Structures are given as C-alpha cells and as structure tokens.
Amino acid sequence: MSDRLQAAQAALNAGRRDEAIEHMIAAVTEDPARAVQVYRVLTANLYGAGRFDEGVAYAAQGAKRYPKDYDLLNTYGVLLRKAKRQAEAVPVLETAIKLNPKNPAAQQNLGNVFLDLKEGARAEAVFGKLVRVEPRNPEYQRQLGRALHHQARIEPALTRFRTAVSLKKDNVDAWLDMVGLLNEEFRTAEAEEAMSKALAASPGEQRLLEGLALMYRRSGQMRRAEQFLTDLLPANPDAGWLHCQIGLLVADWDRERANRHLRRAVELEPDRLDYSMALVESLERTRMGDEGGHIEEAYQLALKLLPRRREFGEAAAKIMTEVFVRVADYDSMEQVGDFRSLGRGWASTGRHTALLKQLARTFTDEDRLELVEQHRIWGREQEKQAARRPIKRPPPLPREGRKIRLGFMSSDLRQHPVGYFAMPLFDYVDNERFEVFVYSYNLGKEDAAHRHIASKIAAYRWWPDVAIGEAAERIAADQLDMLIELGGSTHMNKLEVMAYRPAPLQASWLGYPHSAGLESIDYFVCDPYSRPTRPEYMVEKPLVMPHTWLALGDAFFSDRNQITPGPLPSERNGFVTFGTANNPHKYGREVLQAWARVVAGVPGSKFAFVRPEGSGASFRRNIARLFAAEGVSEDRLVFHAVRGMHMPYYNEIDVTLDPFPLTGGTTTTESLWMGVPLVSLVGQAFHERLSYSILSNAGLGDLCATDLDQYQAIALKLAADVERRRTIRATIREDLRKSPLGQTSQFAKDFYEMIHRAVTERA
C-alpha cells in the first residue's frame, strides 16, 4: 500500500474523513490505475461528506477504468442522483443491475430515481419486482405505494402504505405518506384517524407531530394547529422543530411572533437548512418597523446559505430568488438557477406564487412561450388533482326568466388595491340582470371596504378557514353562471379552486397579470390595448372590454392625496428627478441599466426609489453599482424608504420611468394621479402592456415606446419639455376623470354587458 493510501487509512481509523479524502484524491491523481477498492472507498466517503459533484467526477473516472464493478457503479448512480442529475443516473444504475441482477440495492436506487423524475410507471415496475421477491419488506411496499401515488392510483397506493405499516407498526415514513395522500384527497377524517394510529405506534415521534400540525394547516384548521403546537411548547422549550412550525403557522397574522420562533429554531439547530430558509422568507416578508432592515437581515443570511445551493429544493430556490431580487443582487440570483429550470421546477411542485417573479425575466418570444408553458405545467397538475376529487354539485338552474348569478373570488376585496380597482362594479351593480356574490378567504379583520361591498350584493361569503375542495363545493352550491377570480395566487387567495370548475364559466381579471395556466378558466379580461399580440401568449380566450380593463375607484384616487401647488420639482430643485415606486421584482439588471442611461443623458438629474427596501444598505449599494457602470454617481440616487405612505413622494418626482417587461399597474395610475408623467416600454404579452393601456386611455399614448432607444428618447424629451410637464400636472386629474379610466359608472355598465353577452352566448 502506498504512503498516500496508508495515510488515508490512518485518517479513516481516526475519524478524520476529510483528511482521508484528500489523501485518496492525491493517490488517484498520482496513479489513476489504483485498485477499484480505492475508488469505492473514495466515492463512498465523498458521498458521506456531501461532496456529491466531486464524488460524481471520481466515480466517473473509476467507472471508466472498471466498467464492470457493481459496487462502484451503484455508488456512481447514487451520487448522480444526489447531484440532481437523475437522468444520467438511470443508465448507470441499469448497467449495475445487469451486472448483478440479484442484488436489490441498485434496483432500489433506480426506483428512487424514477420517483424523483415522477415516472411512476417505471418506478412501479422496479418496486413491483422487488415486492414480488420480498413481499414482507415494508420499505419496498412503501415505495411501491409512492410509485402508484405518482400515477394517481389512490386506493392501490393506500393499500401499499397500509401493508407497509402492518409489517412495521412504527414505519414513520409510511404513515406520513399515507396521511399526506389522504390530506391531498381531502379525506380529513381518515387522515386524522391514521395519524392517531401512527402516534399510538410511535408516541412523541417528532416527524409525526410535525405531520399532524401540517395536516391541520392543509385542511384550513389554523387555530387548531396553533393550539396543538403551543400546548407542546412548555414541555419542549428547546425543540427547534416546534419553534419552526409555530413560526411558519402564525406568520400570516403575527409576523413579529413568527420571527421570534424562527430565530429560536435557527439558534437551536443552525445547520438545518429548512429552518434558516423559513427565517429568511419570514424576514423578507416582514412589513413592520424597518422593512429594509429586515430584508437586509434576510439577505445576509441568504448569502451564507448560497454555498449550499446544491441542497436547495424548489422551495429554497424560491425563497433565495425572492430575497436576491428584493436587493437587486442579480449575480447571486443567477447562481440559484436559470429561467427555465427554476420556473418548471416551481410549476411542477405547485408553487404558482413563484411564477410571478418570472414575468420580469421574459425578454424574447421564446421566453414568453416558455412562461406560458410553465403556467400550463402548474395548471395541468392542479386539474389532474381536481379530477381525482370531484365535488358535489347541485343541478344547474334553468336560465329562463332569472338573473345571471355572477361570483367574484378574491381575498383582496377589502381595503387593498384590488378592492379599490374593483369597487366600481359594486358601486354600480346591474341589479336588473345580475345577482352578485363575493368569496373571500381573508385571514384579517372585516374593514369598511368589505362592509361596503357586502351591502351592495346578494352575498359576501367570508371563509377564512376553509380547504380548497370545500371552498369549491360551497361555491358550486350557489349555482353560479360565471365565477371570476381576481387574485391569482397572491396571498390568501385560493386559485386552485378554479381547477374544480365550481361554475360553468370562469374568468380571470385584475389580480394577476398573466394567464393562470388552468384550462378550466375560460376567459381573461383585457382591453384593446392590453390584449396580447398573439393568442399563444394566453391560455384563456380574451374577454375584451371596449376601452379599459380597469377603472380608478373613487376611494383610492381621491383628492386627499394632494399635488403640491406651485413650481415643478425640477423648478424647485434646479434639476430633473426621475423615479419609480415599483416593487423590485418588476425590474432587473436590464431595467436599471436603461434607467441609468436616461439619468446619464440629463446633466445633473437624479433618480428616486420610493420603496421600503431603500433603508437597506445592500439594496442601495447594488443599485449604486449598476448606475455607476453607466456613469451615474451615487450622490445622484435618492432613496425614500416608505410603504403605504408613498403618494406624497410623487411631488418630488418629475418623470416616472416604468419597469419592463413587467410594467406598472397600480403605480402607473398613482403616478398619473399625482401629476407625474410616465414613460413605458410596450411589449407583446399582457404583462408588458399594462401601462400602455393606462397611458393610452389617459390620452398619453405618445409616452409609450416600442424599443429602448425610443424609451430613452421619450424620457429625455419629456425631461426637457418643462411646459408639457407643467400642463400635465395641472390638468391630469380632470383628464383622468373624463377618460374611460375615470368613468366608473360607464366602466361598470360595459363590464356587466360584456359578462351578460358571454353568459348568454354560451347558454
């Protein structure tokens, strides 16, 4: 044995794995013809150390030299799986199986790879064979159940899980698989019974207790989950999992408490990636106090976690991407993953909310079509699940001689931008032809807007603690003619309800600027300006309003937000100020570079960010770096760190620059209402044409550009045209009121006429 291998053996005997690995790497580097046993031991230790990429490299080197060694090939396949290269693992493990067909290890590993790939039929073939050989192996029975689950064969899958727990009463994984499947099927009573049996077999088992809390959450029993977890806390004050679960649960209604528990979980178990990720996500979503400071804390923790990106699943990738976007760290964001793989990963695991961040990354036709496909991937899975769990439906009402029953589903029909934009439809309900229903899952308190809407319609259904299937069934019981969802997958909304088609006709409007991805949604409300240029950019059929797809509700666009009288900001300050109040998820490197070039083109001008992120050091530093690259010094950047009270800051801005390709919506209307003209870049898909619609309806369509050169030219011309900016500031509110945007009663009339036509044409 060489000195290197002797040193490696001594290090292994002493428990110094990393040192042993380095000696073995040196040995095979010096002489690649080392015995196969050296490669076996090296790759096994690299696997144990979590160094999967290195393990793959040395396993490949060894397999090339020893292509018929079963153990090495099996380890090679497992390392490829851990490195998330499952497709490459398949032929390697299949070769190992051919070499030793009686050894079950490589077969089991191959089955696990097929499960990773969601290839249920191929996984079934593997585990079915293993079960026939060894029918009393509980793990084989469980994995066969998972393979059947992937194929939506629910009862056969449950049978295998039940067999697994009968063979091994304390088989926690099998119990959790069973409970999880029952939860998915909304078989809550059976899930609770199974969990009770599981806890009887393994009293106090942590994963089962976590599973019970998750079961309560998924079934909408939030307060029951809270009571269950808090009752456990006195006896388990140092249980990291318990603090994490409480933090995750209460975050929607008590963010400060959530952060305390999540910080404690990380203190107790600092190496748990999921605990740290939960804290990062909660801090990024903390709106109280110094919001920029909370984001900064989240960002610094995210940077520490970034080297572990090989361990990230879709959930972690979503959290990290969102944090890096919030601070404009695009280099780190790109390390997490690319547009296609991230989007498809999120879509295939049900993370529709993450797809909103993809809209700002669509710069080519290929990107637009890929984004539609990502939404379709999500939609197909939701509709597949809904088809497995049909809801109870009353017989349809005859259309003859009755009003159209129209439902709006959104948790934002309250004091919220969606509520304000939708308010004209409730202020001017067409009571002669319609009965209107609202469905909300808002976890907060009733407010004045909620009460106002409720007073105008047939029924306001407020269900804060309801599961998705139950919500769909309750909506179906109202026997609607059409259901319109206004929230997309934003916070507290239940877009998945639409997959059950609780109404014969369904549409999307207002809350999400892209097709949801469901074939069960028939229509998408737009207007002649916002309508996409190609039908392929939408899943639904366009339902086209005659002028505008939104109107300015009186409660939001009121005179309480005053335009400062007197000179323009540029006249008061002696320089032009460009600016934005848009969320950072709407802009990226390309947007910031374009903005910086505009500022560089106007001597002495400045750019103002009216965003809560502005109090964070990293946000300011990253923005400054990108502007500096275009010749704009840091002293020309202004940061107003505000949330909610941002409207007065438009009085400090001369020209708003719109982000792209995801343009402004609410912020565009706010800017105009405050007398500040806005320059927008028009694209092809709906989310690229929001500002184009608003500006065109406001009589300012000439401020819309079709390419970046024109975008910059319009901005520079507007900066120099003091008289036009002065005129816009003086007349814009009256112009808006007279425009289709401000004619709220006409907007409501047009909307109800459009819906009446859609329903009666399909009758």
Task: Mark whether 43 and 192 lie in a shared domain.
Answer: yes
Q: Could you tell me how far CA 134 lies from the centroid of its own chain?
A: 42
How many angstroms separate the CA atoms of 553 and 314, rounded?
Answer: 38
Q: Do residues 435 and 756 lie in contact, with contact meaning Cβ atoms separated by under 8 Å?
A: no
Q: CATH number of the domain at 578, please.
A: 3.40.50.2000
**Is 397 a member of any domain?**
no
Q: pTM score, two decimals?
A: 0.85
Closest to 595 measured CA to CA, from 690, 757, 712: 712
Mean pLDDT of 431-453: 93
Please indicate, yes or no, whether residues 203 and 64 belong to a single structural domain of this protein: yes
Q: What per-residue confidence (pLDDT) applies to 264?
A: 98
Domain shared by 492 and 538, yes or no: yes
- Same domain (yes/no): 651, 628: yes
Q: Which residues are paired to 409 by β-bridges?
A: 439, 485
- Cβ neighbours of residue 502 closer than 8 Å, sequence gap 6 or more: 391, 393, 472, 473, 475, 476, 480, 483
* Residue 409 C-alpha from the chain's centroid: 20
pLDDT for 111 equals 97
Of 200, 229, 258, which residue is a domain's last? 229
Residue 730 in domain:
yes
The number of distinct structural domains making up the chain is 4
What span, in angstroms and rounded, lies between the C-alpha atoms of 628 and 633?
Answer: 5
Q: Phi then psi for 405, rounded to 5 degrees?
A: -95, 110
How does pLDDT run across 551-600, given as a tens digit for each residue? 998 766 777 889 999 999 999 999 999 999 999 999 999 999 999 999 99
**Distance of alpha carbon 291 from alpha carbon 643, whole angstroms:** 9
Q: Are the C-beta atoms of residues 467 and 457 closer than 8 Å to each other?
A: no
Residue matched to tokens 């994984």: 173
Q: Which of 229, 248, 264 is the last residue of a domain?
A: 229
Tens of pLDDT, residue by residue over 235-260, are 999 999 999 999 999 998 899 999 99
CB 122 within 8 A of CB 129: no
- Residue 369 in domain: no
Token digits of residue 655: 């020209």
Token output for 55: 């393990």
Please tell me whether residues 633 and 492 are part of one structural domain. no
CB 724 within 8 Å of CB 576? no
Query: SS3 sequence, 137-175?
Result: CHHHHHHHHHHHHHCCCHHHHHHHHHHHHHHCCCCHHHH
CA–CA distance from 370 to each of 32, 223, 294, 345 (Å)?
44, 40, 34, 13
The rounded percent of the chain whose pLDDT value lies above 70 is 99
**In terms of Cα–Cα distance, which of 530, 493, 488, 508 is closest to 356?**
488
Q: Which pLDDT band, with edges at 50, 70 and 90, does 1 fall under?
A: low
**In sequence order, what DSSP letters do the residues of 335-391 get, joined into one string?**
HH--HHHHHHHHHHTT-HHHHGGGGGG--SHHHHHHHHHHHHHHHHHHHHHHHHSPP
> 76 lies in a domain?
yes
Whether residue 358 is contained in a domain is answered as no
Task: Report, as an integer, the average pLDDT of 94-114.
Answer: 96
Alpha carbons 40 and 59: distance in angstroms, whole number: 8
| pLDDT in the model for residue 263 | 98
Q: Is residue 117 part of a domain?
A: yes
- The pLDDT score that the predictor gives to residue 254 is 93
Q: Exposed, middle or buried: residue 502 (CB in 10 Å: 0-12, 13-18, 19+)?
A: buried
Residues making up the chain, counted from first to last: 763
Residue for token digits 């309750």? 474
Query: Residue 561: its pLDDT value, please?
Result: 83
Residues 612 and 545 reside in one and the same domain:
no
Tell me if 465 sits within 8 A of 220, measured CB to CB: yes
Task: Tell me how far apart the alpha carbons of residues 469 and 496 are, in angstroms, rounded to a whole number.
Answer: 9
CA-to-CA separations, 566 to 248, 671, 727, in angstroms, rounded: 50, 18, 12
Domain check: are 32 and 66 in the same one?
yes
> 209: domain range?
3-229
Distance between CA atoms of residues 483 and 508, nearest Å: 9
Tokens read off for 614: 């502005």
Determine which of 182-186, 232-236, 408-412 has the lowest per-residue pLDDT on average.
182-186
Give the Cα-Cα-Cα angle 564, 566, 572 (nearest 5 degrees). Answer: 90
Give me the CATH number covering residue 299: 1.25.40.10
pLDDT in tens, 115-143: 999 999 999 999 999 999 999 999 999 99
For residues 309 and 260, membership in a common domain is answered with yes
Residues 157, 31, single domain; the answer is: yes
Is 125 inside any structural domain? Answer: yes
Predicted local confidence at residue 581, as pLDDT: 97
> Is-contact 376 516, C-beta < 8 A?
no
Beta-bridge partners for 406: 436, 482
**Distance, CA of 604 to CA of 254 (rounded, Å):** 45
Position with higher pLDDT, 223 vs 534: 534
Q: Kindly state the DSSP code that residue 436 receives in the 8-state scheme.
A: E
Residue in this structure with the two tokens 């004209």, named with its chain if needed = 424
Give per-residue pLDDT as tens, 652-673.
999 999 999 999 999 999 999 9
Q: What is the CATH number of the domain that holds 536?
A: 3.40.50.11380
Residues 235 and 198 in one domain: no
Contact between 617 and 300 (Cβ < 8 Å): no
> Contact 637/624 with Cβ under 8 angstroms?
yes
Helices (H), strands (E): how many in the chain? 34, 13
| Contact assessment for residue 185 and residue 194, using Cβ atoms and an 8 Å cutoff | no
> What is the structure's pLDDT at 388?
84
The confidence band for 152, taking pLDDT boundaries of 50, 70 and 90, is: confident
CB 632 within 8 A of CB 661: no
- What is the average pLDDT value for the chain, to the nearest integer? 94
Q: Assess whether pLDDT exceeds 90 at residue 102.
A: yes
Rounded Cα gap, residues 573 and 567, in angstroms: 10
Tens-digit pLDDT profile for residues 604-651: 999 999 999 999 999 999 999 999 999 999 999 999 999 988 999 999
Which helix (H) or strand (E) segment holds residue 215: the answer is helix 206-218
Q: Report in angstroms the alpha-carbon separations of 564 from 647, 674, 679.
A: 11, 9, 21
Name 577's bridge partners. Answer: 606
pLDDT (0 to 100) of residue 27: 87
State the Cα–Cα distance between residues 356 and 343, nearest whole angstrom: 10
Q: Specify if 343 maps to a domain.
A: no
Domain final residue pick, 337, 357, 374: 337
What is the average per-residue pLDDT within 158-166?
A: 97
Instruction: Answer yes or no: do 305 and 205 share one domain.
Output: no
Same-domain pairing of 61 and 147: yes
Take residue 266 and report the two structure tokens written for it: 């990380």
